Amino acid sequence: MSSGLNQPMLPPASLPGDPAGLARTVLELTRTLGFATAGIAAAAPSTEESRYRQWIAAGKHGEMDYLATQADARVDVSRELPGCRSVLLVAEQYAPRGSPPVPAPPGHGKVARYARGRDYHLTIKQRLHRLADTLRSRWPEHQFRSFADTAPILEREQAVRCGIGWIGKHTLVINPRLGSYFLLGGMLTTMDWQPTRPAAEQPDGLPPLITDSTDRCGSCTRCIDACPTGAITPYSVDARRCVSYLTIEHRSPTLPMPLPHDDRWIYGCDICQEVCPHNTARGWETPIGSDFATSRAAALASLDLAAIMAWDQPAKAAAVEGTPMRRTKLEQFQRNARMLQSRQSPPIPPSI
């Protein structure tokens, strides 16, 4: 559904002091807002703190210093919202299971699927704000804080706690029904909402949105084997070797390692998701969000490297307007393009 949805309506029967009824109401509202699935967990400190701090201590966060400086907040949601009692997580599907890899035409670089649609930071948050406004109008004494990759919260751990899925060996959340091509957002609240549970344990009346968080990776190592830079060890990714980090989050003028030329990614990388057996088509795929089902999103599957090298600021802004790519600097695009071109043709100077 697009972010142009109307304000969701609260059914009259929802009462504070009825956590199951409130959970049912909130989950139904997330469905009317077009999210593919949702879940609720009781607020609690992270159980992944030690693993997270070890990852930071090993320097695997690269130049993303905010992940280190915000570590205390990330492992405790009550730092973001004092008095937080419940956490809602929602999932927005940006590509269906079975979404085929599209080779980049000669002289082009590929764009990760999530980055081709409208900027999810905005579109998911707009819908969550609408949900928060609706809830606030009924319960003004409570607080509701929305996030979509915009607050210091360990969203993947929260998604597992909410029953949305498990964290695969490539460190992304996988849902047995959706696969892993989805984005996460959520809401913290001071209200008590009954946590969602595996479908079999779900109290009567709650919608069957929830699956479970059982790890179904088993002995599979496809993502580890396919990663072109060896960035993955089971359940850990070294950002400094990850093409997605290198092309998007690494801000320095030079990259610490070359970008792979066999599978040319100019923005992000989907390889570990493309090879995952949980992303193969089953014939009953969940519809993707309308912000991703556009002809423009299809056209943004790859970008012309020579055109990028000729961009000035207005040209870059026009080319990636409205997508998450607008957050990335022109210099980063041209650094990435230059590196991908370097083995295809003589290097092109930064300014033409």
When the beta carbons of 218 and 349 are compared against ligand SF4, the nearer one is 218
How long is the chain? 352
Query: Is-contact 209 37, C-beta < 8 A?
Result: yes
* CB nearer to ligand SF4: pick between 142 and 222: 222
C-alpha to C-alpha distance for 164 and 39, rounded to whole angstroms: 6
Nearest distance from C-beta of residue 97 to ligand SF4, angstroms: 12
Q: Of 135, 187, 231, 308, which one interacts with ligand SF4 (CB under 6 A)?
A: 231
Q: How far is CA 242 from CA 78, 89, 265, in A?
A: 31, 26, 11
Dihedral angle at the C-alpha atoms of 45, 47, 48, 49, nearest 10 degrees?
A: 50
The CB-of-6 to ligand SF4 minimum distance in angstroms stands at 37
Q: Is 156 in the site for ligand SF4 (CB under 6 A)?
A: no
Retrieve residue 257's tokens.
């390692």
Residue 302, SS3 per DSSP: strand
**Using rule CB under 6 A, residue 187 touches ligand SF4:** no
Select the residue interacting with ligand SF4 from 2, 78, 190, 229 (CB under 6 A): 229
Q: Which stretch binds ligand SF4 (CB under 6 A): 273-281, 287-295, 308-316, 320-328?
A: 273-281
189 CA to centre of own chain: 21
The span from the CA of 25 to the CA of 3, in Å, is 20
Asked if 259 interacts with ligand SF4 (CB under 6 A), we say: no
With CB under 6 A as the contact rule, the residue among 41, 95, 162, 275 that binds ligand SF4 is 275
The least CB distance from residue 114 to ligand SF4, in Å, is 11
User: What are the C-alpha distances in Å from 96 to residues 122, 176, 290?
Assistant: 21, 13, 12
Residues ≥6 apart with Cβ < 8 Å to 12:
none
From the list 20-28, 60-68, 226-234, 338-346, the region that binds ligand SF4 by CB under 6 A is 226-234
**Nearer to ligand SF4 (CB atom), residue 180 or residue 194:** 180
Least Å distance, CB 55 to ligand SF4, is 14
Which amino acid type is present at position 26?
V
The verdict on 325 binding ligand SF4 (CB under 6 A) reads no
Task: Compute the least distance from the CB of residue 248 to ligand SF4, in Å.
Answer: 10
- Cα–Cα distances (Å) from 122 to 15, 36, 265, 281, in that order, read 30, 17, 24, 29
Position 227 contacts ligand SF4 (CB under 6 A)? yes
- Our finding on whether 183 is near ligand SF4 (CB under 6 A) is no
Stretch that binds ligand SF4, among 3-11, 56-64, 72-80, 213-221 (CB under 6 A): 213-221
The string of DSSP letters for 51-94 reads HHHHHHHTTTTTT-HHHHHTHHHHT-HHHHSTT--EEEEEEEE-
In the complex, the residues that contact ligand SF4 under the rule CB under 6 A are: 168-170, 217, 220-223, 227, 229, 231-232, 237, 242-244, 269, 271-272, 275-278
